[in-house]
Amino acid sequence: MSEQRIEQVRLGTDGPLVGVQGLGCMGMSEFYGETDEAAARATLTAALDAGVTLFDTADVYGRGANEEFLAPFVAAHRDEIVIATKCGIERTDDPTHRAVRNDPAYIRRCAEASLRRLGVDVIDLYYLHRRDPSVPLAEAVGALAELVERGLVRHLGLSEVTGPELREAHAVHPIAALQSEWSLFSRDVEDSAIPAAVELGVAAVPYSPLGRGFLTGAFSDAATELTADDFRAHLPRYSGDNARTNTALLDPVKRIAREHGITPGQVALAWAQQRAEVHGLAVVPIPGTRRPDRIRENTAATRLRLTADDLAALEPLAAQVAGERYPESMKFTSASRE
Ligand SMILES: NC(=O)c1ccc[n+]([C@@H]2O[C@H](COP(=O)([O-])OP(=O)(O)OC[C@H]3O[C@@H](n4cnc5c(N)ncnc54)[C@H](OP(=O)(O)O)[C@@H]3O)[C@@H](O)[C@H]2O)c1
C-alpha cells in the first residue's frame, strides 16, 4: 500500500478511468499450468494496492470458473475496480468443444450467466471475444448495445477485430476498448485495427504483452519445459525450432534490460505502454500473473521510459518471429482459439 500507485487513463471517450496497466486473470483458472489459489487471491489484492483497477476475465476461462473465482474479490471491491469479461466463444461440458458464436440470443444468455457467476448487477466492460462470421457484426453489437440499454453492461469492447470491423461496430454503439494481442512479438494489430482505434478514440488493451511469459525468459521451449497440459505447448512459436529462433531474438531485449537495470519482462511491458505515445491512443496492457511478488515488477514498468535507441533496436523483432500466434486448428472461422 505504501507503493507508488500507477497512473490512470480513460478507456474510450466516455469509458471508465482505469490504472494504465490492468491484470489478466485467465491463467489463475486455466491454460498455464497449476495455480496456487491463495497466491492468486493475494495477486488480486497486490494489484489493487498498486493502482491496478481493470481486471480481465472471460466466460470461457475455466468454463466459468475464472469468473466465479473473481466473485469474492469483486464483491469486496465493487466500487474500486472495473471488471471486464467476454462472450462469443462457446464451450460446453465436452472439454474439446469450442465454437465462436455471436447470435443475439446466445449473447444475452452469456451476459446473464456472467452476471450470475461474477455476482454483480452490471458488467463494467463487456467484450465480444471473437467475431463470428456467420452473424452480421451489427447484429452482434446491437445485442450488446441492448444489454447496455437494460443496464446490465456499462461499456462495450471488441477483441481481435480488424479496423473496418471496429468502425462498423462503433457506428452501432460506442466501443470503449479494443483488446488484441499486442507485444514486441505480435504487431499485426498495428496494420488496421490500431489506426481505426486512434481515429475513433477507442483505447487499446494489449493482451499477452509478455508473449505469454516467453518475453520474460521464464521458459525457452514450452514443449520440454512446461507441463503437458500447458496451452503454450500448442502455440507454434514457443516450442522446437521456432522457439530456438525466437529465443535468439530476445538478445536485444536482454541487453536493454541490463543497460537500464530492469528485467526483460519490464522492457516488454514498457514497450507496450509506450505504444500510447507512438500511436497516440490510450493503452492499458493486461499482463497475466498469479504471483503477488510480480505485481511490483510489472506495474513499475508503467513508469519506465525506453529511449529512441531502445525502441529502434526492438523495432525489427516482430517481423523476425518464427511461427504464428495460433496454430491453424485454433484460427477462427467456426472453431475458437484462446
Ligand atoms: N482476448 C483474448 O483473446 C485473450 C487471449 C489471451 C489472453 N487474454 C487476456 O490477457 C491476459 C494476459 O495475457 P496472457 O496471460 O496470455 O499472457 P502474458 O501476460 O503475456 O504472460 C503471462 C505469463 O507471464 C508470466 N509472468 C507474468 N509476469 C511475469 C514476470 N514479472 N516475470 C516472469 N514471468 C511473468 C505469467 O506467469 P505467472 O502467472 O507464474 O506469473 C504467465 O505465465 C490474460 O490473463 C487474459 O485475461 C485475452
334 domain-assigned: no
Q: Give catalytic status of residue 207 as yes or no.
A: no
Q: Where is 177: in which H helix or E strand?
A: strand 177-181
Select the more confidently predicted residue: 236 or 97: 236
**CB of residue 29 inside a 6 A radius of ligand 1:** no
125 domain-assigned: yes
Cβ count within 10 A of residue 49: 16
- Give the residue, by CA position, lying nearest to ligand 1 atom 16: 208
250 domain-assigned: no
- Average pLDDT estimate for 64-73: 98
Q: State the total domains in the chain.
A: 1
Give per-residue pLDDT as tens, 237-281: 999 999 999 999 999 999 999 999 999 999 999 999 999 999 999
Side chain identity at residue 211, one-letter code:
G
122 CA → ligand 1 middle, Å: 26
- Print the domain residue range for 210: 9-219+266-305
- Average pLDDT estimate for 212-217: 97
179 domain-assigned: yes
Give per-residue pLDDT as tens, 290-338: 999 999 999 999 999 999 999 999 999 999 999 999 988 776 544 333 3
**Phi, psi dihedrals of residue 82, rounded to the nearest 5°:** -115, 115
**CB of residue 290 inside a 6 A radius of ligand 1:** yes
Q: Counting atoms of ligand 1 from 1, which one is nearest the CA of 209?
A: 20
197 CA → ligand 1 middle, Å: 23
Q: By the 8 A CB rule, do 240 and 219 touch? A: no
Sign of CA dihedral 82, 190, 318, 238: positive
**CB of residue 286 inside a 6 A radius of ligand 1:** yes
Pocket test for ligand 1, best of 21, 30, 208 (most atoms within 8 A of CB): 208
195 domain-assigned: yes
- Give the residue, by CA position, lying nearest to ligand 1 atom 37: 289
Pocket test for ligand 1, best of 55, 215, 229, 289 (most atoms within 8 A of CB): 289
Cβ count within 10 A of residue 133: 12
- Give the residue, by CA position, lying nearest to ligand 1 atom 38: 289
Q: By the 8 A CB rule, do 115 and 87 touch? A: no
- Give the residue, by CA position, lying nearest to ligand 1 atom 47: 24
309 CA → ligand 1 middle, Å: 27
Strand partners, 18: 9
- Which pLDDT does position 329 carry in this prediction? 78
**CB of residue 170 inside a 6 A radius of ligand 1:** no
Q: Which single residue is written with the C-alpha cell 437494460? A: 150
- Which pLDDT does position 331 carry in this prediction? 65
- Give the residue, by CA position, lying nearest to ligand 1 atom 13: 208
16 domain-assigned: yes
**CB of residue 131 inside a 6 A radius of ligand 1:** no
Catalytic hit among 61, 126, 207, 238: 61
CA distance 46 to 152: 28
Q: Which single residue is written with the C-alpha cell 444475452? A: 108
Grid cell listed for 285: 496492457
**CB of residue 292 inside a 6 A radius of ligand 1:** no
- Average pLDDT estimate for 98-115: 97
290 CA → ligand 1 middle, Å: 9
67 domain-assigned: yes
Query: Which domain CATH number covers 66?
Result: 3.20.20.100
- Which pLDDT does position 337 carry in this prediction? 36
Angle, in degrees to the nearest 10, between helices 293-300 and 37-49: 40
Q: What is the pTM of this model?
A: 0.97
Q: By the 8 A CB rule, do 81 and 53 touch? A: yes
> Strand 8-10 to strand 17-19: parallel, antiparallel, or no bridges (unpaired)?
antiparallel
317 domain-assigned: no
Of the ranges 2-6, 68-72, 156-160, 163-167, which one carries the lowest mean pLDDT score? 2-6
CA distance 264 to 312: 16
